[in-house]
Structure 1
Amino acid sequence: MQKSIVRRKRFWILAGLTVILAVCCRDWLPLLLNQEALVQCLNIAEPWRSLAFVSAHIIATALGIPGTILVLVGGAIFGLVWGTLWSVIGATLGAIAAFALARYLLHNWFKQRFDQHPLFVRLNRIVGQRSLRCVLTLRLAPISPFNLVNFLFGLSAVPLRPYALGTFFGIIPGTLAYTWIGITGRQAIAGEKLWPLTLALSLLVLLSLLPVWVRWQSSRAGD
């Protein structure tokens, strides 16, 4: 009984904080979908633009807003190395926040509703036993539904530690590719050579095949 009351209080506290965050940020949330406006705002935010960029990433990811534009902007403003680093940090922290929201707000309800469903039980057992591998495999796919995956893992049996580690290391290749596209894309628009952009896009295509290779290697190891 006491645990039920504590969980209920925690639910309403987190739900209230999420609503407050969304309301407080509603005026500038559209900026997260406007590349040029983001570049201008972050340039004005100097010398705090790194912190502003990471904070924007965290909020966008926690609220389920696509972060691709942010990654492209990171490449245009910070360059390949720092743009990738700040994007990976921001996206990972935001993914942890989204995971926590799903875990503490909806996990118990979801488990009670689907706990007897054979497919849910089987999937939950697999991701619980191979948490890090499952997270890494999904994160290595640069075109996977990143925000949806955050919430789904929060509803599963995956512990926080392998989720955080798998997310951090798994998104590095895809983030690097998108950051590079952000740099080379602006260069192409400015009239410079197109081959760097073509190379960056080719890297993204190759990375999209990486999860297939990982699964193939896993199946070979199982044999």
Structure 2
Amino acid sequence: MKRNLLPKFLRLCQRNFKILLFLGIILLFFITPLRGLLDRQILSSYLQSLGIWTIPLFVSTYVLVAILGLPITMHTLAGGVLFGFGWGTVWSTLAATLGALGAFYFTRYIFHDWAIAIFGNHKLLRKLNQAVTNKPFNLVLSLRFAPIAPFNIINFLLALTPINSKIYTFATFIGVIPGTIAYTWLGVSGKSAIQDNELFQFTLASCFLVLLSLLPFGLQYWQRSRKSP
């Protein structure tokens, strides 16, 4: 009986090699100094010391974190600290779009068959497929607009649909701008709050983020109230 377990285990590992490799990369990420990429202070301090390499390393690590499905919020906040509001928004928007596109292709061409076998009949995925067929740009734009929307899960799910990558990329670029503005502003104002004890801008940025997060729910309520007699 025990002799049969090893071949079964090896066959299981072979069928799920891509998943195991991906999980191994994420584990390696957390047990090495790379985990500092998820800490805003460590990330900001490290990137500030790189001189002319700050921007390319900021964008590259942002894209890497997005492809691995890890939180990108710390990078956006760090962008505000490093580059200020204007350029921080520009570089974070660019990096978020590239990261979303990288995660999209990574899922579509590496994990598509495995994911469809597991989630193909899920109700949510069927609804997304229908929405992508009807209004792909509007769907992606609405999913990206709210900063509380799960950025990485959206990348994963949309990669399982037949959406055109150009539409996905352009709608993502437009859709992440409001949330990027909010988090970059939060990073800039948070730095001012710490260094200069200036809380007004930090409070405004926090309120803007909250309002932006609640806006989709307000639009849904407004649409329902218009339809009701």
Q: What's the TM-score once normalised by structure 2's chain length?
A: 0.80
SS in 2 for 1:157: coil
Letter of the aligned partner of 2:57 in structure 1? Answer: A
Letter of the aligned partner of 1:159 in structure 2? Answer: N
Letter of the aligned partner of 1:189 in structure 2? Answer: I
Q: Which residue of 2 aligns with 1:93?
A: 98
Larger radius of gyration between Structure 1 and Structure 2: 2
Q: Which residue of 2 aligns with 1:34?
A: 39
Q: CA deviation at 1:191?
A: 3.7
SS in 1 for 2:201: helix
Q: Which residue of 2 aligns with 1:8?
A: none
Query: Equivalents in 1 of 2:68, 2:82: separation in Å?
Result: 24
Letter of the aligned partner of 2:142 in structure 1? Answer: T
Query: Equivalents in 1 of 2:88, 2:171: separation in Å?
Result: 20
SS in 2 for 1:144: coil
Q: CA deviation at 1:63?
A: 0.6
Q: Which residue of 1 aligns with 2:136?
A: 131
Which range moves more in the overlay, 109-118 or 45-54? 109-118
Query: Equivalents in 2 of 1:173, 1:25: separation in Å?
Result: 30
Gaps of 5+ in 1: 1-10
Q: Which residue of 2 aligns with 1:144?
A: 149
Change (3 A) 1:195 1:153: same
Indicate which of 45, 48, 51 corresponds to 1:46.
51
Whether contact under 8 Å (1:75, 1:183) holds in the other structure is yes
Letter of the aligned partner of 1:176 in structure 2? Answer: I
Query: Equivalents in 2 of 1:47, 1:200: separation in Å?
Result: 29
Query: Equivalents in 2 of 1:33, 1:119: separation in Å?
Result: 30
1:38-187 map, 5 Å? 38-113=43-118, 115=120, 120-187=125-192
Query: Equivalents in 2 of 1:163, 1:222: separation in Å?
Result: 29
Q: What's the TM-score once normalised by structure 1's chain length?
A: 0.82
Q: CA deviation at 1:177?
A: 0.8
Whether contact under 8 Å (2:18, 2:110) holds in the other structure is no
Query: Equivalents in 1 of 2:22, 2:116: separation in Å?
Result: 23
Which range moves more in the overlay, 138-147 or 27-36? 27-36
Q: Which residue of 1 aligns with 2:208?
A: 203
Q: Which residue of 2 aligns with 1:3?
A: none
Whether contact under 8 Å (1:107, 1:156) holds in the other structure is no
- Give the CA RMSD over aligned residues: 3.1
Whether contact under 8 Å (1:14, 1:105) holds in the other structure is no
Which range moves more in the overlay, 86-95 or 148-157? 148-157
Whether contact under 8 Å (1:174, 1:207) holds in the other structure is yes
Q: CA deviation at 1:111?
A: 3.3
Q: CA deviation at 1:125?
A: 1.5
Letter of the aligned partner of 1:137 in structure 2? Answer: S
Q: Which residue of 2 aligns with 1:7?
A: none
Change (3 A) 1:168 1:28: farther
